[in-house]
Amino acid sequence: MKVVSTRLAEVLLIEPKVFGDTRGFFFESWNEREFERAGIAAKFVQDNHSRSQKGVLRGLHYQVRQPQGKLVRVTEGEIFDVAVDIRRSSPTFAMWEGTRLGAQSKSMLWIPVGFAHGFCVLSDFAEVLYKTTDFHAPEHERCIAWNDPDLKIDWPLSGTPVLSRKDATGVHLRDAEVFP
């Protein structure tokens, strides 16, 4: 696999080696040994799978206790995936990284603990799978506003996104509970 650095040193784009022939394709979406060689020593405890229609925006989510590292990939369609550094002591605090992930490329994004995560669907629909390093804990879940004017995330949207009630009431980063 190829590991591509982003503006946020700990957020990594993973491009797996894909083997294809007339039957289809094969690739390893997780290999503990290979990921450890790339600097990702993660123990995953939960897999999540979502399906969303075009224009849906999910996020920016994180958990203040039981924080989760996430390995995100798309199995159908295409998304714009975003990670925001919410570690107050980090030199990249409040910076974001966005990248397109799609079923065609099979690329994955590693988002470590200390980052908020969100995505918007660019295709007619998208199915997103992500592994997490800790269990979902709704009582510790927080949401930063997708359109926080201080973050200035350049979402590739046409019009207003479709949001859940929780995502529509996300707080600005300046008012959010973040990591030290």
**For the chain, which domains are there?**
42-175 (2.60.120.10)
Catalytic residue among 62, 117, 130, 172: 130
Q: Please indicate whether residue 62 is annotated as part of the active site.
A: no
| Phi and psi angles of residue 132, each rounded to the nearest 5 degrees, phi first | -125, 150
Bridge partners (DSSP) listed for residue 25: 20
Q: Provide the percentage of residues in the chain whose pLDDT is more than 90.
A: 99
Structure confidence at residue 26 (pLDDT): 95
How high does pLDDT run on average in the chain? 97
Structure confidence at residue 50 (pLDDT): 98
Structure confidence at residue 139 (pLDDT): 97
Among 123, 117, 84, 87, which Cα is nearest to 102's? 123
Structure confidence at residue 55 (pLDDT): 97
Residue stretches of the chain with pLDDT short of 50: none
Catalytic residue among 61, 62, 136, 140: 61
| E strands in the chain | 2-5, 12-15, 19-21, 24-26, 46-53, 57-63, 70-76, 78-85, 96-102, 108-111, 115-121, 125-132, 141-143
Q: Please indicate whether residue 61 is annotated as part of the active site.
A: yes
Structure confidence at residue 163 (pLDDT): 98
Omega before residue 60 within 30° of 0, cis:
yes
